[in-house]
């Protein structure tokens, strides 16, 4: 794959800006003297624009490619004394793409894909308020993140390790958790994600991961966790029946579990943990007959009510709270879908990864 950049730089800065907590995406103040591209890929051109913006304006621009194959679209052009903003405009026009400014970045792809990504963000359920995961995410900034076809499951693991590794003196009252709901009938864990970001709030990184992975992946932000999964599965989260014992459910919501690590357990094995934590207040009865999938949870500082809800969500069950019993019941039937598989340039699938996520802390 050949790509040539012939660049003679002459810099013209008007009102040179300074780095901000939320990076600006304005690149109109910087110009390059000459740009010559022959059979260049759009992704490489965007990387060049971002690099020059950081070099000349001290403001990195984060471009998020949405839609399969958007970054590999080719273009050729020759321009003189051109602003970076005009270079972006022409690059998008020559590849049939649009650029849409969003918080902390710019979405680039076909108009349909860009609108879809923005629509997913607007539809995502986010629980806000003091102490919620959403409020904590906005306090975390990732200095640098590079993903090259990294699997969603790997990305989530790295996000959790990054959050867990923050200094104790940070402003976080509670570390947010990250979960993956992976329906075995339509798995999303191996969907590839490619991103290159700098100085981005973690709240925006969540959105960009969902956009880059494609329409199969969505997210939900609960009070104690960020949950990734297929959009249809996330909408079918368990809704416990608690009218018989509201006081008992309030106790479960206030009962805090310091640490939970379940790696590939069955529903019944996971319920043994619940039986331990209810301290004899409830009998845990499993009446579910249509469970599906294994339970994988790695959580910190999670309420007992949320823990049970996540166990039920991963096993496609629900629960009912009675005076002296927690009854596990069947959940709603999940819609049947074809397995999520990406086709690479040479016809093979891209279920694996080219490189693991790389953080620069």
The pairing of strands 225-230 and 217-221 is antiparallel
pLDDT at position 185 is 78
- Among 35, 31, 32, 30, CA closest to 6: 35
Among residues of the chain, what percentage have pLDDT more than 90?
48
Q: Do 262 and 169 have their domain in common?
A: no
Q: Do 227 and 128 have their domain in common?
A: yes
- Among 260, 292, 298, 297, CA closest to 276: 260
Q: Do 102 and 9 have their domain in common?
A: yes
Please check whether residue 118 lies inside any domain of the structure.
no
Axis-axis angle for helices 42-57, 84-95 (nearest 10): 170
Spatial distance between the Cα atoms of 236 and 27, rounded to a whole number of angstroms: 42
pTM as predicted: 0.81
Give residue-wise pLDDT tens across range 244-293. Answer: 888 889 999 999 999 999 988 999 999 999 999 999 999 999 999 988 77
Residue 346 maps to which CATH number?
Answer: 3.55.50.30
Please check whether residue 117 lies inside any domain of the structure.
no
Q: How would residue 338 be classed by pLDDT, with cut points 50, 70 and 90?
A: low
Among 55, 79, 110, the domain-final residue is: 110
Place of tokens 């270079």: 87
Q: Do 88 and 130 have their domain in common?
A: no
Among 84, 110, 136, the domain-final residue is: 110
CB atoms within 10 A of CB 105: 25
pLDDT at position 122 is 85
Which one-letter DSSP state was computed for residue 336?
Answer: P
Among 69, 84, 110, the domain-final residue is: 110
Higher-pLDDT residue of 226 and 359 is 226
Q: Do 136 and 226 have their domain in common?
A: yes
The pairing of strands 74-83 and 31-41 is antiparallel
Please check whether residue 149 lies inside any domain of the structure.
yes
Spatial distance between the Cα atoms of 186 and 230, rounded to a whole number of angstroms: 8
Asked if pLDDT for residue 351 goes beyond 50, the answer is no
Q: Work out the average pLDDT over 135-152.
A: 89
Name the strand (E) or helix (H) holding 259.
strand 256-265
Name the strand (E) or helix (H) holding 253.
helix 246-254
Higher-pLDDT residue of 66 and 23 is 66
pLDDT at position 343 is 41
Please check whether residue 115 lies inside any domain of the structure.
no
Give residue-wise pLDDT tens across range 77-115. Answer: 898 888 888 999 999 999 999 999 998 999 999 999 999
Q: How would residue 344 be classed by pLDDT, with cut points 50, 70 and 90?
A: very low
Spatial distance between the Cα atoms of 338 and 356, rounded to a whole number of angstroms: 26
Q: How would residue 179 be classed by pLDDT, with cut points 50, 70 and 90?
A: very high
Number of domains composing the chain: 3
- Among 119, 117, 61, 65, CA closest to 95: 65
Please check whether residue 54 lies inside any domain of the structure.
yes
Q: Do 197 and 344 have their domain in common?
A: yes
Q: Work out the average pLDDT over 222-238.
A: 88
pLDDT at position 20 is 31
Residue 142: give the domain boundaries.
124-235+337-359
- Among 320, 276, 267, 274, CA closest to 296: 267
Please check whether residue 119 lies inside any domain of the structure.
no
Q: Do 128 and 231 have their domain in common?
A: yes
Q: Do 146 and 14 have their domain in common?
A: no
Residues 6+ away with beta carbon under 8 Å from 106:
25, 61, 62, 63, 64, 99, 100
CB 277 within 8 A of CB 254: no
- Quote the tokens at residue 216: 């199969």
pLDDT at position 136 is 83
Residue 258 maps to which CATH number?
Answer: 3.55.50.60
Which one-letter DSSP state was computed for residue 332?
Answer: P
Give residue-wise pLDDT tens across range 191-225. Answer: 999 999 999 999 999 999 999 999 989 999 988 89
pLDDT at position 132 is 75
CB 30 within 8 A of CB 47: no
């Amino acid at each position: 794959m050949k790509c040539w950049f012939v660049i003679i730089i002459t810099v013209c800065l008007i009102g040179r800006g300074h780095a901000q907590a939320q990076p600006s995406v304005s690149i109109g103040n910087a110009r390059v003297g000459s740009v010559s591209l022959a059979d260049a890929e759009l992704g490489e051109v965007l990387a060049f624009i971002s690099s020059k913006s950081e070099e000349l304006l001290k403001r990195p621009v984060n471009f998020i490619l949405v839609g399969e194959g958007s970054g590999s679209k080719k273009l050729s052009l020759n321009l003189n004394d051109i602003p970076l903003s005009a270079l972006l405009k022409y690059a998008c026009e020559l590849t049939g793409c649009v650029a849409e400014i969003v918080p902390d970045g710019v979405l680039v792809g076909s108009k349909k894909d860009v609108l879809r990504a923005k629509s997913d963000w607007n539809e995502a359920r986010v629980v806000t308020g003091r102490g919620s995961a959403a409020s904590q995410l906005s306090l975390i900034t990732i200095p640098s993140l590079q993903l090259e076809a990294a699997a969603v499951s790997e990305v989530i693991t790295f996000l959790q390790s990054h959050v867990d590794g923050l200094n104790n003196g940070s402003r976080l009252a509670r570390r947010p958790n990250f979960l993956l709901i992976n329906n075995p009938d339509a798995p999303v864990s191996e969907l590839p994600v490619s991103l290159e970001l700098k100085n981005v709030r973690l709240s925006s990184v969540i959105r960009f991961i969902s956009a880059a992975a494609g329409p199969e992946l969505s997210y939900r932000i609960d009070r104690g966790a960020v949950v990734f999964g297929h959009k249809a599965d996330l909408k079918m989260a368990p809704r416990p029946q608690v009218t018989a014992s509201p006081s008992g459910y309030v106790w479960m919501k206030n009962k805090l579990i310091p640490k939970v690590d379940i790696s590939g357990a069955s529903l019944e094995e996971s319920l043994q943990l619940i039986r331990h934590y209810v301290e004899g207040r409830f009998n845990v009865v499993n009446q579910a007959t249509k469970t599906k999938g294994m339970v994988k949870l790695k959580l910190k500082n999670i309420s007992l009510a949320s823990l049970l809800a996540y166990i039920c969500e991963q096993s496609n069950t629900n629960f009912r709270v009675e005076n002296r019993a927690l009854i596990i019941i069947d959940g709603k039937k999940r819609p049947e879908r074809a397995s999520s598989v990406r086709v690479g340039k040479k016809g093979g699938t891209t279920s694996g990864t080219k490189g693991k996520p790389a953080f620069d802390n």
